[in-house]
Amino acid sequence: MHRPHSPAQPAAVLPASWRDLTSVRELEKICFGRDAWPWIDTLAALTFPQTVRLKAVADELVVGFIIGDRRRLKRTGWIASIGVRPNYRRRGIGRTLLAACEDLLGMPRVRLSLRSSNDAALRLYQQAGYISIDTWKSYYRDGEDAIVMEKVR
């Protein structure tokens, strides 16, 4: 029997690897435009063993991804990148990816940075328990400031 896809169907969160390079690159371009990483950095993130990288899969499509890093000496995890395909947003995929990445990082605190104008990301992080701890003035190429946020776990 044909069962139509329900939008309420949760996306599956799975480990990502270099095999997902094309899908993650595509998503990065959709989500970040000119701020998208160079492909070599994405490949490195999907390959280096110390990096946490996850994908969200729905409708047989990679609809979200997250990349996390560990700074072991500082006992700090960093969320390096997170993105969700536009027509899959506001379904809890970003929140689920973030929580899964924090768990796998396994660090007592997690930090991240975002454009000061990125309200969707700011709300997501605030809702997940992050607080603003710093501003990096003119951090982005176009001169926009970055907000630095931290969550103590």
Ligand X SMILES: CC(C)(COP(=O)(O)OP(=O)(O)OC[C@H]1O[C@@H](n2cnc3c(N)ncnc32)[C@H](O)[C@@H]1OP(=O)(O)O)[C@@H](O)C(=O)NCCC(=O)NCCS
> Residue numbers of the site for ligand X (CB under 6 A)?
31, 82-84, 89-95, 114, 118-121, 123-124, 127
Helix intervals (H) in 9-86: 21-32, 39-45
Q: How many angstroms separate the CA atoms of 41 and 47, rounded?
A: 10
Minimum distance from CB of 132 to ligand X (Å)? Answer: 13
If the CB atoms of residues 84 and 110 are measured against ligand X, the closer one turns out to be: 84
Minimum distance from CB of 55 to ligand X (Å)? Answer: 13
Q: How many angstroms separate the CA atoms of 16 and 53, rounded?
A: 5
If the CB atoms of residues 3 and 142 are measured against ligand X, the closer one turns out to be: 142
If the CB atoms of residues 30 and 106 are measured against ligand X, the closer one turns out to be: 30
Minimum distance from CB of 2 to ligand X (Å)? Answer: 27
The edge-to-edge listing of strands for the beta sheet with 109-115 is 12-15, 52-58, 61-71, 76-84, 109-115, 146-152, 131-136
Q: How many angstroms separate the CA atoms of 96 and 102, rounded?
A: 10
- Select the residue whose beta carbon is closest to ligand X and give its number: 94
What is the distance of C-alpha 56 from the center of its chain? 11
Minimum distance from CB of 1 to ligand X (Å)? Answer: 30
If the CB atoms of residues 73 and 145 are measured against ligand X, the closer one turns out to be: 145
